Amino acid sequence: MSASAPQAVGGRDIKGLAVAQRLGRSLMLPIAALPAAGLLLRLGQADLLGKPTLPDWIQKVGAVIGAGGGALFDNLPLLFAVGIAIGFARRGDGSTALASVVGFVVLTSVFKAMSPFVLDQPTDPAAKPNLIDYRVLAGIVVGIVTALLWQKFHRIKLPPYLAFFGGRRFVPIITAGVMLVIGVLMSLIYPAFNSGLTHLGNAITGSTVIGAFLYGTINRLLIPFGLHHIINSFLWFVFGNYGGQTGDINRFIKAHDPSAGTFQAGFFPIFMFALPAAALAIWHTAKPSQKKIVGGIMLSAALTAFITGVTEPLEFSFMFVAWPLYLIHAVLTGLSLAVTNALGIHLGFTFSAGGIDYALNWGISTRPWLMIPVGLVFAVIYYVVFRWVITKWNLKTPGRDDDAENGLVENGGAVSDKAIANSKVSKADSA
């Protein structure tokens, strides 16, 4: 089951939302590189393969592995530029990726050339100059612009004497010119952008409990629309600066910022403990004839959430058919982020808040052991609340639908879309 774009009156798609959804989906392509980057970087750290007590050759291997992971984090803006360009463009191909690289190189070169004109520079000639640095946001801009240009010009026909440069070959050319102009404009507004971002960061960090609560709630509420990756990308890869690294994930994994993890730690209690408890409640409230099948589905989904932090199979099981539960889930997720921040827990991930990242990043975390009791408390809350709401309001979670006896849950646990549609029609007719 997947979320569809909301419809405007008359059955037409809301175009602005559809474009935002495309951007949200395209962000997943560069983000998919993070688990590999995080694993390599962590293995090379001083508490793992780089441990001083280990043989010298192992430490050297660790340094090489860590350098490989660090390189991916250092080049995240380029990865976002290429990934978004390919993912956002309709039927994008290799020429889209090439054009995005061209656009990114032009943009960063313009930033470097414009920096002395818009930023105050150190008086010491030997000091490192101040440079315009939008980090991942620059990659996102390049990716979107490249995708749009590719869609418009990849089939362009030029006069015969310029035919060689037509079609897909024209896209890198036009991208370079457009990014030159955009680079100048972004350079001129950078001082105001940087100042605004600093003030926003100070406002959020001034009350991380409230800020994290709002973020956690909004994050879950945006999932049905496929827009949560947009807000995630800003907070995880742009917000904050420590040791030359920006974003909550980069600052935690690469720079070991002791204040990082603000927008990550609170997901661990929900993904590893609370949602599996919700799955248990859904299983226990299923009709007797459906408990075996529903139990298999819920247990596998719960195990996936606990180990990997992949929660969509669980969340989509009640996101639409029992939407009050999802609203409760969103608020409790925000509460979890607020609680972990209030307790001073700092823990991050490169893929998701599952057991793998929890174990891998234990050594660079702050008070990670507190995550277990916090998670168990939220597990009890989720189980009690979900079970009570399901039975009190008679919500049609898996195994409780009126058509369950007729095979709504079938095919080894897959939910039949046809059965769901027929169920909705029959309910509408009876009403």
Mean pLDDT of the chain: 83
Q: pLDDT by residue (tens digit) across 83-124?
A: 899 888 877 678 899 999 999 999 999 999 999 999 888 888
Q: What is the pLDDT of residue 277?
A: 96
Matching residue, tokens 């090379």 = 44
Mean pLDDT of 40-56: 82
Which of 56-60, 177-181, 215-219 shows the highest mean pLDDT?
177-181
pLDDT above 70 (res 406): no
All structural domains of the chain with their residue ranges: 18-121+129-206, 266-401
Alpha-carbon gap, residue 125 to 292, rounded angstroms: 73
pLDDT tier at 205, thresholds 50, 70, 90? low
pLDDT above 80 (res 21): no
User: In angstroms, what CA-CA distances link 100 with 85, 106, 120, 144, 168?
Assistant: 6, 10, 30, 9, 13
Residue type, 325: L
Q: What is the pLDDT of residue 99?
A: 93
Torsion 62-64-68-74 (CA) sign: positive
The closest of 310, 343, 327 to 212, measured between CA atoms, is 343
The closest of 27, 4, 32 to 310, measured between CA atoms, is 32
Does pTM top 0.85 for this prediction? Answer: no
Q: What is the pLDDT of residue 54?
A: 87
The closest of 174, 197, 40, 25 to 100, measured between CA atoms, is 174
The closest of 413, 385, 400 to 278, measured between CA atoms, is 385
Taking every pair of C-alpha atoms in the chain, what is the biggest distance, in angstroms? 80
Q: What is the pLDDT of residue 412?
A: 40
In terms of pLDDT, which residue wins out, 107 or 40?
107
Alpha-carbon gap, residue 294 to 305, rounded angstroms: 16
Q: Length of the chain, please?
A: 431
Alpha-carbon gap, residue 424 to 94, rounded angstroms: 44
pLDDT tier at 402, thresholds 50, 70, 90? low
Whether 84 and 26 have beta carbons less than 8 Å apart is answered as yes
Q: pLDDT by residue (tens digit) across 278-323?
A: 999 999 999 999 999 999 989 998 998 999 888 888 898 888 888 8
pLDDT above 70 (res 342): yes
CA 71, 85, 182 angle in degrees (round to 5)?
90
Mean pLDDT of 239-258: 85
Alpha-carbon gap, residue 97 to 146, rounded angstroms: 9
pLDDT above 70 (res 239): yes
The closest of 65, 85, 231 to 146, measured between CA atoms, is 85
Q: What is the pLDDT of residue 379?
A: 97
